[in-house]
């Protein structure tokens, strides 16, 4: 039995009483101001349509914005993030020193058939929450991932460093090339020649 048939069967026992329709008829014929009611209803409908169009325009123009908590440099931080629907994001937050910061980015994904598409919100969040390598002015090198802050300055051999990152049940193997990028994998350390 289809849904349509189920609805028909469920509502087939319901009937509108004759008194109800008679009462409605009496109310419409005794109303002395039907033009005014139609005018008010028309104005209300126009306001509703214009208001909806404005809200839809604002949503398209500004994208989707929300406030979430992210780990930034090992500290959990409230971030206002906006996705534009075209594979880009922009986020604002206050750093641990009280300064207002703005950061943005985005990207494209290449499908199996070679076509490109903008990254989705989930893919962008995965990108934002990925481990981060930071080169400090004092010469030290740090890896940040969730609440982890790891000094890897002295772990480079031939300008390459291997780090195993663990966060609860999740494990990432990370290969860092000194000032030349990094790559991660959940299975094994990426080969340095496979990136950059």
Domain region containing 145: 130-196
Domain match, 101 and 157 both: no
At 25 the pLDDT is 53
Check if the beta carbon of residue 44 is closer than 8 Å to that of residue 52: no
Exposure pattern of 172-194 as b/e (b: 16+ CB <10 Å)? bbbbbbbeeebbbeeeebbebee
Domain match, 30 and 87 both: no
At 189 the pLDDT is 94
pLDDT digit string (tens) for 51-81? 544 333 334 445 566 777 777 777 778 888 8
At 174 the pLDDT is 93
- 153 lies in some domain: yes
CA–CA distances in Å: residue 73 to residues 84, 143, 157: 25, 8, 24
- 2 lies in some domain: no
Domain match, 50 and 21 both: yes
Instruction: Spell out, as residue ranges, where the chain has pLDDT lower than 50.
Output: 20, 24, 52-61
- The number of folded domains in the chain is 3
């Amino acid at each position: 039995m289809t849904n349509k048939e189920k609805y028909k069967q469920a509502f087939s026992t319901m009937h509108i009483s004759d008194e109800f329709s008679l009462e409605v008829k009496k109310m419409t014929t005794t109303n002395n101001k039907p033009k005014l009611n139609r005018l008010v209803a028309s104005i209300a409908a126009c306001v509703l349509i214009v208001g909806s169009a404005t809200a839809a325009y604002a949503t398209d123009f500004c994208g989707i914005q929300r406030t979430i908590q992210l780990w930034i440099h090992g500290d959990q931080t409230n971030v206002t993030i906006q996705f534009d629907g075209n594979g880009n994001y922009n986020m604002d937050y206050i750093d641990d020193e009280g300064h207002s910061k703005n950061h943005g980015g985005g990207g494209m994904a290449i499908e199996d058939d070679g076509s490109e598409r903008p990254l989705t919100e989930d893919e962008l969040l995965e990108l934002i929450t990925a481990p981060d390598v930071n080169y400090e002015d004092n010469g030290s090198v740090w890896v940040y991932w969730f609440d982890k802050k790891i000094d890897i300055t002295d772990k480079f051999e031939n300008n390459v460093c291997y780090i195993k990152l663990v966060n609860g049940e999740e494990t990432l193997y990370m290969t860092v090339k000194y000032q030349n990028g990094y790559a991660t994998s959940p299975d094994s350390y990426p080969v340095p020649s496979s990136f950059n």
